[in-house]
Amino acid sequence: MTGPRLPPAGPPARQLPERRQSRRNGARQLLHLFEHSASGLLTCDAQGRIVLCSPVAARLLGTEPGTLCGQPLAGWLDPLAASGADAARLFEPGQCETMAHRANGSSFPVELTVSHTRLDGVPQSILILRDITDRRLTQEQLSYLANFDSLTGLPNRTLFRDRLAQAMARARRSRKPMALMLLDLDKFKLINDSLGHEVGDQVLRQVAEMLKGCLRGGDSLARGGGEAPFTVSRLGGDEFTVIAEQLASPEDAALIARRIIEALERPIHLLDHERHVSTSIGISMYPADDTDLDGLIRHTDMAMYRAKAMGRGTYSFFSAELSAELAARLQLENELRQAVERQEFVLHYQPKANLRSGEVVGVEALIRWQPPGRGLVPPDRFISALEDSGMILPVGAWAIRTACAELAAWDRAGLPPLTLAVNLSARQFGQPFLAGFIRDALAEAGISPQRLELELTERLLMEDSGATRGVLGALAAMGVRVAMDDFGTGYSSLSYLKRFDIDTLKIDRSFVSELASDPEDQAIATAIVAMGHSLNMKIVAEGVETEAQAQFLEALGCDEIQGYLLSRPMASAAFVEWMRARQAAERTYGAAPDSDSHPMTLMTMQTLDG
């Protein structure tokens, strides 16, 4: 048996032309690819000479394929080894970016893909060329945006950090100290708020120009020459930095800071305004102050804050004491943050009495901090930290709400209808909703607005922003009273007493303490009482400790007194007890102005008893 027969193989004579045909087609395709590929194609021999060149490659290089063939690749592409070297050593296989040179001498960036092969045993390199001019441009634009501030054209925070790291490295190598300066414009927010952001932007642009200008001519300070000794950057907002290199000593840095301060003192011309700006500068030295980049920036920041605190328009160097001071401050702020969370604050109340009748008419709420396991902390130790950190807003709101609720509880307990004074920080007046908040707190407690008095300091009114006036107006419309606290210690300008609706003046303790003996204090107290009364204000003397002081004040016609003579501030429960004891004593001894016992005697007695 024979198996099934396979069909006979086709005749070889027919196969050959088909294969040839398809090979020919393939070759045409390859040629087409070679000629029309968007990338330029080149091959070169082991000597680095161009063997084959596609029309696109020739066009990219600004010439004809015929011109290129046989030429050394070295003349057309970077990076290039010594001429005549092995092509395999000119470029590593793989992809790289390099520069190509046109026949006319101009250059452009290319992406190069290289592979090494053998053709009939002869080594050969294949190169694919792509013009990446557009991509580079986009990259450069992106990198500009990532590294430069679009408003001023100065390096931004990112580039600043790079430049600082480089400057630190140079300072290490050259052993010449370097200064980092942090500039913060004084009251820039005011310009922005009052004249608008566009004007603010103009100011920033001009400040950037002034900074560059005043440092440009300053190379005389640079000892080494060579590299540019100054780098100006803008960190954002109104914060600029200057890196000053190759200094001989910190005095050089001080000289530069003074030059900057003077330069910025010149008026800035805006569309229709002329403005003066000033700047505060913090300085730290590398490597003396810190060897770490972030540490150096932090120290410069501390120094800048001190310059601000020193009164603006000035500079300050970082110092170790400053660091200790700031560390303590930070620690305090952290503790206070916890205190806010854990509600560790309490209010004490100090009574005020009518000087003629001796009757207790009101109280002032005074805050204290009760950290667990420690004694009560007085407000002078923490109020400014609360203000700086913004925590005064929740704490101040708590104080108002708590004091109102306490007053309502005293009413229910049968105490006479007292008035309540609460201290407010300037910071709280920045809140547009303050008046609304106070209205709600009063309504919640069921207290009439006329019984609340807010104690403000002179600083608040001196800064006189439109917002302050708005809030004061809204409070006055509600019937809430306003007292000027610590009167006489600030600028005591009559104009703002008139401009703002002030109901009460509180003569500062410092004028009261020597009142019985110091003629100058007597003159001041006399003037305050007379002036206040002529403006229809009530006068309260604070810090009254002796009967002699009280009698002097009474003779002047002062309305109320507050102080240790009457009582120290007390916790709420103690205050209620104190009031009850006092009411009982009044019933026993009588306290009418015409009785034998002078009201002051009653006050003293109560203090001794209580």
Strands 419-423 and 360-369: parallel
Stretch that binds ligand C2E, among 42-50, 173-181, 417-425, 587-595 (CB under 6 A): 417-425
Under DSSP, the state recorded for 450 is G
Cβ at position 583, least distance to ligand C2E in Å? 22
Please pick, from the candidates 244, 353, 424, 454, the single residue that binds ligand C2E as defined by CB under 6 A.
Answer: 424
Contact call for residue 486 and Mg ion (CB under 5 A):
yes
* Nearest to 562, CA basis, from 413, 300, 349: 349
Count of CA atoms in the C-beta half-sphere (13 A) of 236: 4
Toward Mg ion, which CB reaches closer, 131 or 542? 542
Give pairs for 388-393: CB < 8 Å, separation 24+. Answer: 388/333, 389/333, 389/336, 389/337, 390/427, 391/336, 391/337, 391/340, 392/425, 392/427, 392/428, 393/427, 393/428, 393/431
Contact call for residue 542 and ligand C2E (CB under 6 A):
yes
Cβ at position 601, least distance to ligand C2E in Å? 18
Please pick, from the candidates 45, 486, 559, 560, the single residue that binds ligand C2E as defined by CB under 6 A.
Answer: 486
Contact call for residue 363 and ligand C2E (CB under 6 A):
no
Cβ at position 568, least distance to ligand C2E in Å? 7
Tally Cβ neighbours within 10 Å of residue 394: 12
Cβ at position 543, least distance to ligand C2E in Å? 4
Contact call for residue 560 and Mg ion (CB under 5 A):
no
- For residue 308, give both structure tokens: 């601000």
d(Cα 487, Cα 469) in Å, to the nearest integer? 19
Cβ at position 146, least distance to ligand C2E in Å? 44
Cβ at position 422, least distance to Mg ion in Å? 8
Stretch that binds ligand C2E, among 137-145, 162-170, 202-210, 376-384 (CB under 6 A): 376-384
Toward ligand C2E, which CB reaches closer, 211 or 366? 366
d(Cα 254, Cα 239) in Å, to the nearest integer? 19
Stretch that binds Mg ion, among 94-102, 150-158, 429-437, 451-459 (CB under 5 A): 451-459
Toward ligand C2E, which CB reaches closer, 396 or 532? 396
* Nearest to 427, CA basis, from 475, 392, 398, 454: 392
Cβ atoms 257, 292 nearer than 8 A: no
Please pick, from the candidates 186, 289, 458, 485, the single residue that binds Mg ion as defined by CB under 5 A.
Answer: 485
- Element containing residue 99 per DSSP (H, E): strand 94-101
**Phi, psi angle pair for 269, to nearest 5°:** -95, 120
x/- letters, 552..571, toward ligand C2E (CB under 6 A): -----------xx----x--
By a kind-dependent CB cut-off of 5 to 8 A, residue 399 interacts, out of Mg ion, ligand C2E, none, with ligand C2E
Cβ atoms 427, 383 nearer than 8 A: no
Q: Write the DSSP string, 533-569.
A: HHTT-EEEE----SHHHHHHHHHHT--EEESTTT---
Stretch that binds Mg ion, among 10-18, 211-219, 436-444, 477-485 (CB under 5 A): 477-485
Toward ligand C2E, which CB reaches closer, 167 or 367? 367
Cβ atoms 586, 353 nearer than 8 A: no
d(Cα 76, Cα 65) in Å, to the nearest integer? 13
Name, in order, each residue with C-beta under 8 angstroms of 340's C-beta and a sequence gap of 6 or more.
391, 394, 395
Stretch that binds Mg ion, among 239-247, 305-313, 420-428, 553-561 (CB under 5 A): 420-428
Q: Is 490 exposed, middle or buried (0-12, 13-18, 19+ CB in 10 A)?
A: middle
Please pick, from the candidates 453, 455, 458, 521, the single residue that binds Mg ion as defined by CB under 5 A.
Answer: 455
Stretch that binds ligand C2E, among 9-17, 130-138, 209-217, 418-426 (CB under 6 A): 418-426
Cβ at position 362, least distance to Mg ion in Å? 12
Contact call for residue 543 and ligand C2E (CB under 6 A):
yes
Contact call for residue 423 and Mg ion (CB under 5 A):
yes
d(Cα 307, Cα 258) in Å, to the nearest integer? 13
The site for ligand C2E, by CB under 6 A, has a size of 23
Toward Mg ion, which CB reaches closer, 423 or 425? 423
By a kind-dependent CB cut-off of 5 to 8 A, residue 379 interacts, out of ligand C2E, Mg ion, none, with ligand C2E
* Nearest to 208, CA basis, from 238, 243, 248: 238
Cβ at position 347, least distance to ligand C2E in Å? 7
- From residue 558, how far is each of 11, 353, 490, 528 by CA, in Å? 133, 11, 21, 9
Query: What residues between 322 and 351 interact with ligand C2E by CB under 6 A?
Result: 350
Cβ at position 514, least distance to ligand C2E in Å? 12
Count of CA atoms in the C-beta half-sphere (13 A) of 408: 15
* Nearest to 488, CA basis, from 540, 560, 427, 556: 540
Name, in order, each residue with C-beta under 8 angstroms of 195's C-beta and a sequence gap of 6 or more.
270, 273
Toward Mg ion, which CB reaches closer, 455 or 458? 455
Count of CA atoms in the C-beta half-sphere (13 A) of 321: 3
Contact call for residue 423 and ligand C2E (CB under 6 A):
yes
Cβ at position 604, least distance to Mg ion in Å? 22
Toward Mg ion, which CB reaches closer, 449 or 490? 490
Strands 239-244 and 178-185: antiparallel
| Total residue count of the chain as it appears in this document | 610
Point out which residues pair with 49 in neighbouring strands: 72
Toward Mg ion, which CB reaches closer, 45 or 455? 455
By a kind-dependent CB cut-off of 5 to 8 A, residue 532 interacts, out of Mg ion, ligand C2E, none, with none
* Nearest to 533, CA basis, from 507, 511, 515, 569: 507
- For residue 423, give both structure tokens: 């201290």
Please pick, from the candidates 501, 545, 554, 586, the single residue that binds ligand C2E as defined by CB under 6 A.
Answer: 545
Cβ atoms 276, 268 nearer than 8 A: yes
- For residue 319, give both structure tokens: 């110092």
Cβ at position 527, least distance to ligand C2E in Å? 20
Contact call for residue 454 and ligand C2E (CB under 6 A):
no
Cβ at position 459, least distance to Mg ion in Å? 13
**Residues near ligand C2E, by CB under 6 A:** 350, 366-367, 378-380, 383, 396, 399, 423-425, 455, 485-486, 509, 542-545, 563-564, 569
Point out which residues bind Mg ion (CB under 5 A). Answer: 423, 455, 485-486, 542
